[in-house]
Structure 1
Amino acid sequence: MENLFSMAAFPSFLIISAVIAASAQQQRYSRIYLGSSLTPTTNSSWLSPSGLYAFGFYKLTNGYAVGVFIAGIPEKTVVWTANWDSPVFPSNVVLQLRYDGKLSLQQKDRSDIIIASASASASMLDTGNFVLYDSSQRITWQSFDNPTDTLLPGQHLSAGKEIFSSASATNPARGIFRLKMQTDGNLVQYPVNTEDKPNYSYYSSFTDGKGSNVSLNLDNNGLLYLFNGSSIILNLTTGQYRTKTIYLMRIDVDGIFRLYNRLLDHRGNWTKEWSSTEDKCIPKGLCGLNSFCNVTDRVSGCECLPGFDHVNPGDWSSGCERNFAMEGCKAKDQNVSYEIRSLDNTEWEDTNYADVKDMTREDCIKACLEDRNCGAALFLGTLSQYGSCKKQKLPLRYGRILQSDELRNGPRIALVKVSTSTTVSENSVKEIKNEPKRQILIIGISLVALAAVILAISWVYVHRNHARTYTISNNKNVELIEDVGLRAFTYAELVQATNEFKEELGRGASGAVYRGILSNNKIVVAVKRLEKELAGEKEFQTEMKVIGKTYHRNLVRLLGYCFEASKWLLVYEYMSNGSLADILFNPESRPCWEERIRISLDIARGILYLHEECETRIIHCDIKPQNILMDEHRCAKISDFGLAKLLMLDQTYTNTGIRGTRGYVAPEWNMNLPVTVKADVYSFGVVLLEIICCRKSVDRRLSENEAILQEWVYNCYAVGELNKLVGYEEVETQTLDRMIKIGLWCIQDEPSMRPSMKIVLLMLDGTFDIPVPPCPNSFQSSI
């Protein structure tokens, strides 16, 4: 069994015979008075009078948590946890029953966390209930009224209340399943972040209509039942009196709630007595988005849809993401096509946008392939060959393999669209058919070619070493060529390439960009002439090494540089469609909704690479539409990354020391707080809202209510008027809602509340559930 277990209450004459001696640093308390305190490493808990239960600190792998646990058995079993949303604390935390009557957790340089208040004393009872009293000895607060994942004998779950699973066997934080005692009398299980509706439930007592005051109860004999205030309306278990035995009911990490018993001796183990289901794939959401649950040899596991891989193989609930790129940002010679892969006998949540009746499986496959919006289709067959074809947009969720007795009415098949993209032309395909006839000839030619390549490489190596020896003697900066493959241009070369800097493509805070054509190979390039004072030669070379090693399809490629006295220039690949600002804020070239989503994904992938995937972490510091360039296929690529470290002075006209552009700067820049990658997340959030709404973040020509984009977006979101944000453009409502919520999470004032770019990408891709975002506290501070 998992080691985060709960304990049960039982008759006191059994407690005394079962209690094991507590450690020397723990003491038994019948009453705990104001001023009393605990620490994780000294006096760590307050024991109940018999020593069976304890309230205090218990050890986790990454710190300490506070809760109620069974201290009177060999393995410590947790039954209640304080501060459940953030339960882990360092060893220097202090738990104190303060003189002002508040039970609080105190850490140096942080605000106190109040667990409960209005008390004059406290007690850890032998029932497993931790209680606070006022000066008249009346109970003002008790752990029994605030259950986390467990019910003990004598405890109940009242109408309207719910308990949650833990995040994992070693993490007591709130998990992904909930058990709710509804006010209609029905006891129901749901995944978290869902409404109390039948289509989300995966267990029900079917007792709705039995009254508004029904509660779930557990007694000392292990009887688990529903009680309406006057009589028992449903027994979930039979109950059985056993001597020296304790019971507890818990909603486990896997989403199933179970009743356990244990003998109170050293030989005892927790034994399952009853469970809400024996099918471990029943809990919805166990496997995350785009994955399905399958039981093999009584062990449940999660498998991905065809064409998908696990986001985090160690965490099934994180779901799966595509292992292929969708349309957009494709090479000129790439043929993008799709095929259908089938998953037989599977069930998924049905969120179809089209339900076509009386179709064969083959017709359903064809219909999905011909529909660009169709990511998958659910074919619900009948005993004949015809059935219902339900077209779905990804992600799919709540997937599981069906049992044989669930297929009596016909097959249930998921038809998933996957990419068969290839860079082979049609003529090449025809040639491949004749491949067996030419194998011997090709092998011979290959051997000759290999020998020629080896000779050529040897000659080039010798030649480059001679050339490098000569060049370094004349130019000390060319050492970067060897390290990163960048070309060192002379200033004269770039003057000639740009026709004396005649055609200006754009101008930013750090300098102007010019179109150029390299004389040796006629390649079109963009030459940026830096006009700001730089950090120095050594810093410049170091940064060139970092930038030169970065390569990602959503980053503008740096081809070379020039560094001669005060003339510092950077040579980039040419982006024929200008910047995102050029197309986004121009009504004539404004991208459609689907393209705006693809652009958002491109930008997110580029920032994620800078933050987590390149050799040296790079904080861009100036994410904005002007620094996002568009290639000939309108694939978005981030430019100017790495310049933040090169520029000594501020990049814009904001306060000295602040890097970034007005309207996109994270609040921490203005508060002299440490700047992390979360500053880029904030800027991305602003850009994302601009992409959604096709307007600038600050537009003083608009009314006061709409001038500041972030504020207007949140106000529209709060009142449910999202269509205003897209000018009543016809877009998919669910996708619009998801994009808006992502943007609002990214622009939270508190950096720790912003998601990482990895999470942002999962949100954009639909493989991560998004909670409702809070209102950012100050829109004005970032502009």
Structure 2
Amino acid sequence: MQADGNLVSYPVKTSVTSNDACWASGNSGAGDNVTLNFDDDGRLYLLNSSSTLNNLTSGENFQGRTIYLAKLDVDSFFRLYSHNLDEKRSWSILWSTPTGRCDPKGVCGVNTYSILRGLEVKCECFPGFNHVDPNDLSSGCQKNYTAGGCKNEDGRLNYTMKPLNDTQWFNDSYYLLTNSTKEDCAAACQGDCNCDAVIFEDRLCKLQRLPLHDKRSSPGSLSFVFFKVGVPEYITNGVPPADRPSKKKLTVEILIIGVSLVAFAFLVLAISRALIYRSNAWTHKRASDRGNIELSEDLAPRAFTYRELEEVTNSFTEEIGRGSFGAVYKGTILNNQKVVAVKRLEKVLAEGEREFQSEMKVIGRTHHRNLVRLYGYCLEGTKRLLVYEYMSNGSLANILFTSQNQPSWDERVGISLDIARGILYLHEECETRIVHCDIKPQNILMDNCRCAKISDFGLAKLLKPDQTRTFTGIRGTRGYVAPEWHRNLPVTVKADIYSFGIVLLEIICRRRTVDSSLPEDEAILEEWVYQCYENRQLSKLVGDEQVNERKLDRMVRLALWCIQDEPSLRPSIKKVLLMLEGTVDIPKPPSPTSSLSTI
């Protein structure tokens, strides 16, 4: 019931406008006291404070053994049912809204089309797509082939076009071709790297980009739709199926090779473990024979005593930083004069010694050029300290948000790649998958060559929820926290993708995500960036700095995809890295908050 007295039904996740309405009572302007009423004789009517405005149904001669049901069905019809308790029959329909069927918008996710079969909605994927989550059809669909360039090395196209008939579309196209034929329309998309699908209708060819929305099954539709999908491998490599080895022969060969490789791998593994054991035993013996503090980078993180770390840091006199996990002090390992950073954790969860040591071993087994190395730890009562490699150039925030010695555009692109590679290792390549939960410039440290390294990974689970004022019962720092934290939804690796997107915007623009000293329309970075992107004014983001405009456009697009409110729309970190490297195309992103505009 709208404020103007008009009773209207809308599909979920659509705009509340007449264009999206399924049915309306037609009482617009009747006032704000209108109510829908339902009498026990089956009469449905609209009533204001003084009189009846609209009889939706006339009602029947009341019979005590008849009951009525008014129901808004899933197929969008508002219906009145009746049932006589003396007769063994099912419910019968007395009245229904007279308009045509309204499609189930909002039920299916992106890159799908909906089919209504009876009262059940089916979400089908486009050709060349599979469901992101088969158990949750509203999650949408994604490509089931690896994206690549438009052409291979010998100039042949890497894509073919597949039709999808009997569908109706409402998407805006990014390019129109007039006076076209169906064949020319499909060929135009096949040769355009930015095109993912085309809609051909009445000699008009509409080129589309992913993701696609607002489509439905429409038997007898006069429009033709073609989707770009990956060409089968034998077409691109020139070897037809008839010239390939038979499947049975190929399976036997693969089995023989596989068994041989497994046997060889076991042999190499056994020899390697024996050699490593002997080497570690000798190293441990040599280290234990020396009385002074020393550090061996060949070993797993070693356990320090609190007294040893007092000696290393000269009684914790030189504080070099303070973050969300605690204070950091500069120290020197005496024997090899190696400079280290000693972090004293504050308000750590009251875990047992064994659990804390297990966590340290997980972190200690991470070895990557874009992760800060953990050398050791201290566990004495409530004292928990970590010993890291020392990063001479401080944090990314130190060099990004100060006017002196800011990194150039090419350096910032390299820093973005470093961070993405570090996150890729945490998410997909290390032995135990790690969700960082607090990606921000203060946790990105710079070595003497200005190579970016991620710190504080794996520590979020050791902290209490109220650890500092930057935490609000959730893990992460305001401004970088993914929206799902606030909506009590399951948090996955996509939370780190959101934080990386915010950091990427800060790297591009060399400013903080929120700056109250700027004009109101520029204060919130993500909103300002999307406004500049929509208005084709990306040069505002970098000021007078000379940058590669094509690379700037790609990085802005990628950042906007990473900060989408809907986690399933954010790319994986592997795809983020491919986009940063320029390996795959980046489609035009929607507004970051568009997926929540109707909630």
User: Does the CA-based 8 Å contact 2:343-2:386 persist in structure 1?
Assistant: no
Aligned length: 489
The counterpart of 1:395, out of the listed 211, 215, 221, is 211
TM superposition shift of 1:366: 1.7
TM superposition shift of 1:196: 0.8
Per the alignment, do residues 240 and 438 of structure 1 end up closer, same or farther by CA in structure 2, a change over 3 Å counting? closer
Letter in 1 for 2:225: A
User: Does the CA-based 8 Å contact 1:543-1:642 persist in structure 2?
Assistant: no
Question: Which position in structure 2 is the counterpart of 1:293?
Answer: 114
TM superposition shift of 1:293: 1.8
Whether 2:596 is the aligned partner of 1:771: answer yes
Secondary structure of 1:416's aligned partner: strand
User: Does the CA-based 8 Å contact 1:378-1:391 persist in structure 2?
Assistant: yes
The answer to which structure has the higher strand fraction is 1
TM superposition shift of 1:309: 3.0
User: Does the CA-based 8 Å contact 1:368-1:374 persist in structure 2?
Assistant: yes
Deviations 1:17-46 (A, max 9, x none): xxxxxxxxxxxxxxxxxxxxxxxxxxxxxx
Per the alignment, do residues 267 and 475 of structure 1 end up closer, same or farther by CA in structure 2, a change over 3 Å counting? farther
User: Does the CA-based 8 Å contact 1:689-1:740 persist in structure 2?
Assistant: no
- CA distance, structure 1, for counterparts of residue 520 and residue 493 of structure 2: 23
Whether 2:199 is the aligned partner of 1:378: answer yes
TM superposition shift of 1:402: 1.1
Uncovered stretches (5+) of structure 2, i.e. residues with no partner:
286-295, 300-320, 331-337, 346-351, 379-384, 483-487, 542-548, 573-587
Whether 2:231 is the aligned partner of 1:416: answer no
User: Does the CA-based 8 Å contact 1:260-1:273 persist in structure 2?
Assistant: yes
Question: Which position in structure 2 is the counterpart of 1:367?
Answer: 188
Letter in 2 for 1:196: T
Per the alignment, do residues 402 and 616 of structure 1 end up closer, same or farther by CA in structure 2, a change over 3 Å counting? same
The counterpart of 2:61, out of the listed 241, 245, 252, is 241
- CA distance, structure 1, for counterparts of residue 533 and residue 263 of structure 2: 69
Whether 2:274 is the aligned partner of 1:466: answer yes
Deviations 1:747-771 (A, max 9, x none): xxxxxxxx68557669978899523
User: Does the CA-based 8 Å contact 1:620-1:641 persist in structure 2?
Assistant: no
Secondary structure of 2:10's aligned partner: strand
Whether 2:448 is the aligned partner of 1:624: answer no
- CA distance, structure 2, for counterparts of residue 614 and residue 459 of structure 1: 22
Q: More displaced, 557-566 or 529-538?
A: 557-566
- CA distance, structure 2, for counterparts of residue 716 and residue 765 of structure 1: 13
Per the alignment, do residues 270 and 545 of structure 1 end up closer, same or farther by CA in structure 2, a change over 3 Å counting? farther
Per the alignment, do residues 363 and 761 of structure 1 end up closer, same or farther by CA in structure 2, a change over 3 Å counting? same
- CA distance, structure 1, for counterparts of residue 44 and residue 476 of structure 2: 61
Q: Which has the higher contact order (CA 8 A, sep 6+)?
A: 2
The counterpart of 2:265, out of the listed 432, 457, 470, is 457
- CA distance, structure 2, for counterparts of residue 641 and residue 364 of structure 1: 52
- CA distance, structure 2, for counterparts of residue 323 and residue 586 of structure 1: 39
- CA distance, structure 1, for counterparts of residue 106 and residue 409 of structure 2: 43
Question: Which position in structure 2 is the counterpart of 1:532?
Answer: 342
Per the alignment, do residues 543 and 709 of structure 1 end up closer, same or farther by CA in structure 2, a change over 3 Å counting? farther
Secondary structure of 1:464's aligned partner: helix
TM superposition shift of 1:343: 0.9
User: Does the CA-based 8 Å contact 1:394-1:766 persist in structure 2?
Assistant: no
Within 5 Å, give how 1:570-719 maps onto structure 2.
588-589=409-410, 609=427, 618-624=435-441, 627=444, 639-640=454-455, 642=457, 644=459, 681=495, 684=498, 687-688=501-502, 691=505, 694-698=508-512, 704-705=517-518, 711=524
User: Does the CA-based 8 Å contact 1:261-1:273 persist in structure 2?
Assistant: yes
Letter in 2 for 1:414: V
The counterpart of 2:124, out of the listed 303, 313, 316, is 303
TM superposition shift of 1:189: 3.5
Secondary structure of 1:532's aligned partner: strand
Per the alignment, do residues 449 and 399 of structure 1 end up closer, same or farther by CA in structure 2, a change over 3 Å counting? closer
TM superposition shift of 1:374: 2.2
TM superposition shift of 1:346: 0.4
Whether 2:9 is the aligned partner of 1:160: answer no
Per the alignment, do residues 290 and 655 of structure 1 end up closer, same or farther by CA in structure 2, a change over 3 Å counting? closer
TM superposition shift of 1:695: 1.7
Per the alignment, do residues 456 and 699 of structure 1 end up closer, same or farther by CA in structure 2, a change over 3 Å counting? closer
User: Does the CA-based 8 Å contact 2:23-2:99 persist in structure 1?
Assistant: no
User: Does the CA-based 8 Å contact 1:342-1:415 persist in structure 2?
Assistant: yes
User: Does the CA-based 8 Å contact 1:604-1:757 persist in structure 2?
Assistant: no
Letter in 1 for 2:4: G
User: Does the CA-based 8 Å contact 1:547-1:558 persist in structure 2?
Assistant: no
TM superposition shift of 1:561: 7.6
Letter in 2 for 1:309: N
Question: Which position in structure 2 is the counterpart of 1:131?
Answer: none
- CA distance, structure 2, for counterparts of residue 567 and residue 475 of structure 1: 22
Question: Which position in structure 1 is the counterpart of 2:164?
Answer: 343
The counterpart of 2:41, out of the listed 193, 210, 221, is 221
Question: Which position in structure 1 is the counterpart of 2:140?
Answer: 319
Secondary structure of 1:397's aligned partner: coil
- CA distance, structure 1, for counterparts of residue 407 and residue 216 of structure 2: 47
The answer to which structure has the higher helix fraction is 2
The counterpart of 2:176, out of the listed 342, 355, 365, is 355
Secondary structure of 1:466's aligned partner: helix
TM superposition shift of 1:356: 1.9
TM superposition shift of 1:237: 4.5
- CA distance, structure 1, for counterparts of residue 245 and residue 357 of structure 2: 54
TM superposition shift of 1:646: 11
User: Does the CA-based 8 Å contact 2:199-2:223 persist in structure 1?
Assistant: yes
TM superposition shift of 1:464: 2.7
User: Does the CA-based 8 Å contact 2:162-2:227 persist in structure 1?
Assistant: yes
User: Does the CA-based 8 Å contact 1:511-1:529 persist in structure 2?
Assistant: no
- CA distance, structure 2, for counterparts of residue 738 and residue 456 of structure 1: 43
Give me the CA root mean square deviation.
6.7
- CA distance, structure 2, for counterparts of residue 227 and residue 581 of structure 1: 65
TM superposition shift of 1:640: 3.6
- CA distance, structure 2, for counterparts of residue 365 and residue 617 of structure 1: 44
Identity %: 22
Per the alignment, do residues 230 and 371 of structure 1 end up closer, same or farther by CA in structure 2, a change over 3 Å counting? farther
TM superposition shift of 1:472: 4.2
Letter in 1 for 2:81: Y
User: Does the CA-based 8 Å contact 1:376-1:391 persist in structure 2?
Assistant: yes
User: Does the CA-based 8 Å contact 1:293-1:401 persist in structure 2?
Assistant: yes
- CA distance, structure 1, for counterparts of residue 241 and residue 558 of structure 2: 47
- CA distance, structure 1, for counterparts of residue 163 and residue 592 of structure 2: 20
- CA distance, structure 1, for counterparts of residue 598 and residue 410 of structure 2: 32
Deviations 1:595-637 (A, max 9, x none): 99x99x9799969959xx99666344343397399xxxxxx99
Per the alignment, do residues 608 and 697 of structure 1 end up closer, same or farther by CA in structure 2, a change over 3 Å counting? farther
User: Does the CA-based 8 Å contact 2:9-2:24 persist in structure 1?
Assistant: yes
Per the normalisation by structure 1, the TM-score is 0.46
Whether 2:358 is the aligned partner of 1:542: answer yes
- CA distance, structure 2, for counterparts of residue 760 and residue 443 of structure 1: 38
Within 5 Å, give how 1:56-71 maps onto structure 2.
none
Deviations 1:222-269 (A, max 9, x none): 244678999989765564334123434333455432223345799897
Per the normalisation by structure 2, the TM-score is 0.57
Per the alignment, do residues 358 and 246 of structure 1 end up closer, same or farther by CA in structure 2, a change over 3 Å counting? same
Within 5 Å, give how 1:496-515 maps onto structure 2.
none
